[in-house]
Structure 1
Amino acid sequence: MTKPTSIARLNSRALIAVSGEDWRTFLQGLITQDVESLAPGELRFGALLTPQGRLMYDMFLIGREDGAWLDVEAAGREALILRLSMYRLRAKVKIEADETPVFAAFGSDLGAGWLADPRLPGLGWRGYGVDASTNADEAAYDAHRLALGVPGPADWAGETTYPIEANFDLLNGIDFKKGCFVGQETTSRMKRRGQIKSRMLPLAFEGGAPASGAEVLNGELRAGEVLSGAQGRAMALVRLDRIGGDLTADGRKVRAETPGWFATAAGA
């Protein structure tokens, strides 16, 4: 087996185990991803939305023989368990925390037990309960993700973002053929109209990241808002019709970048 370039334990992520006779139909009616066809050992990306169609929780679904794991943000796990329990009603479903660790790997190919990240091949793999020796930290993984222009949970905190604005439709996070899910009407309407004004794109600049919430300006016109960031790079929610020309944030020059995967998936 070729040794991977980097393996990091993702302490910001945690698992929820969903099982029971009705687990598939229960999740199928709630989340953006198809669950009916999820096979054991398969990994998919999705989300739970508000009824108004805004992002509440992102998640990876891992098919298991007796149900599924949900790979979710650790800080929101208990709240998500409560939310799912509210929807349970009479469904024969068991929902509980699972302490199996979550790992991410990026670099060379990996052997058995690792699952390819369904969002984008360049992101690498995710591992659940694998026998792994870490040689990187979560900050290194986040820098890798940000270098590819892929947004993360820090960019949609607060239930203000639509999943299409966060590029879930371009990163295999929404199955538009599966039928109803919470927030489906608004999500499908945005996609159907095909006129999406704002999306998350990376910004490049010199030095530290502008403050979260800082305005991105095109001259005197508001072009967007900085979300999360690190040295030399940040994610921003930007108006696609205003990212050409000279941009600034916090009074500094920034440059909006269009990753190759984005241009291909969006048909740009």
Structure 2
Amino acid sequence: MSRGETAPDRQVWTVTGQDRFSFLQGLISNDMLPLEKAPGMIWAALLTAQGKYLADFFVIRPLDGDHLLIDIQSNIAAETLRRLSMYRLRADVQIARTDLAVTRGLDSPPPGTFADPRHPALGWRGHGLPGQAPVIDWDAIRVAHCIPETGIELIANDSYLLETGFDRLHGVDFRKGCYVGQEVTARMKHKTELKKGLITVAIDGAAPVGTPVMSGEKEAGTLFTQSGGKAIAWLRFDRMQDMVAGTARLAALP
């Protein structure tokens, strides 16, 4: 059994009140029904009315109670809490920060933890458990499986869920009821063909995150996280030839 490592850039909130499930159900991209039925963890996003990404986080129903936890990156926590509070109105919901630590690991999970719902390669996550100093190369795992990160590939007021892989990573449910931004997300799923989005590419060289990707004289996208000769890039799918980002050369993988 592993103790896992502490994620120092995360906060944990507690969500209580009789309306906690219905409140989140009407706001986030994933379905809260599984958590109403049993303990578990989901990954979801909060969107603008125009369907653009604002924040992503995990929602957890622990084994030891009916309260909910939210596991969120610290640098978007305050703004996300402010926005959630705007929607609360008369709902019986209370949201408060806790001092619980987030731990995560790749070995055998300790009791009370849950598998990361995005991808099996991301192991497990726990809340309120002791952890060790970070040593795992999470960027390498993310690049290998094209998993976006808050504030890097996931850009507030810019990113769309389907272009950033939320459907592939179990972060959006197309069968649930309405939520903020649902109409645009559903239309992209059912009525359009994606022409751009995140993919993993081969990279020869390196360039800063955010460097434009060029295909000849045309801009093809943006370079993001890099690791082990590969990178995550947001690209127009019709311009993935002869790509460069700064001095680095990129190539689509088979």
Name 2:250's counterpart in structure 1. Answer: 254
Which of 13, 18, 22 is the equivalent residue of 1:21?
18
Aligned pairs (5 A) from 1:156-167: 156-167=154-165
Which amino acid in 1 is paired with 2:42?
Answer: R
Is the CA contact (8 Å cut-off) linking 1:25 and 1:36 kept in structure 2? no
Report what 1:265 is aligned to. Answer: none
Amino acid at match of 1:116: A
Q: Deviations over 1:55-79 (max 9, x none)?
A: 0001111014232111111111111
Q: How does 1:128-207 map to 2 (within 5 A)?
A: 128-132=127-131, 134=132, 136-137=134-135, 140-153=137-150, 154-207=152-205
Give the superposition deviation at 1:41: 3.0
Does 2:84 correspond to 1:80? no
Taking the aligned partners of 2:205 and 2:238, their CA distance within structure 1 comes to: 26
Aligned to 1:211: 208
2:142 & 2:109 partners in 1: Cα distance? 18
1:106-144: per-residue Cα shift (whole Å, max 9, x none)? 2x3324222111111111111111243x26336x22332
| Greater shift in the superposed pair: 86-95 or 36-45 | 36-45
Contact between 1:44 and 1:62, CA under 8 Å: does it hold in 2? yes
* Contact 1:16-1:77 within 8 A present in 2 as well: no
The answer on whether the counterparts of 2:139 and 2:227 sit within 8 Å (CA) in structure 1 is no
1:158-196 deviations in whole A, cap 9, x for unaligned?
A: 310111111001110001111100000100000012401
The letter of the residue matching 2:186 is S
Q: Is the 2:139–2:225 Cα contact (8 Å) retained in structure 1?
A: no
TM-score normalized with structure 1 length:
0.86
CA distance in 2, matches of 1:237, 1:119: 19
- SS of the counterpart of 2:141? helix
Contact 1:9 1:137 in 2 (8 A): no
CA RMSD of aligned residues (A): 2.0
Report the alpha carbon displacement of residue 204 of structure 1 after superposing the two structures with TM. Answer: 2.7
Q: Which residue pairs with 1:262 in the alignment?
A: none
Q: Could you say which residue in structure 1 is the equivalent of 2:120?
A: 121
Work out whether residues 14 and 71 of structure 1, in 8 Å CA contact, stay in contact via their aligned partners in 2. Answer: yes
TM-fit CA distance, 1:9: 1.4
Range moving further from structure 2, 229-238 or 144-153: 229-238
Q: 1:249, CA displacement in angstroms?
A: 1.2
Once residues 198 and 28 of structure 1 are traced to their aligned partners in structure 2, the CA distance between those partners, rounded to angstroms, is: 29
Deviation readout 1:233-266 (Å, 9 max, x if unpaired): 43211112322x43211133112336xxxxxxxx
Contact 1:41 1:62 in 2 (8 A): yes
Query: CA–CA distance in 2 between the matches of 1:227 and 1:13?
Result: 21
CA distance in 1, matches of 2:156, 2:93: 28
State how far apart, in whole Å, the 2-side matches of 1:206 and 1:86 are.
46
Q: Could you say which residue in structure 2 is the equivalent of 1:71? A: 71
Distance 1:93 1:152 in 2: 28
SS in structure 1 opposite 2:162? coil
**TM-score, reference length from structure 2:** 0.90
Consecutive unaligned residues of structure 1, counting only runs of 5 or more, are: 259-268
Please, which runs of 5 or more residues in structure 2 have no aligned partner? none
Q: Determine which of 31, 34, 55 is the counterpart of 2:31.
A: 34
Amino acid aligned to 1:86: M
Q: Distance in 1 between matches of 2:147 and 2:247?
A: 25
1:8 correspondence with 2:10: no
What is the distance in 1 between the residues matched to 2:28 and 2:203?
A: 36
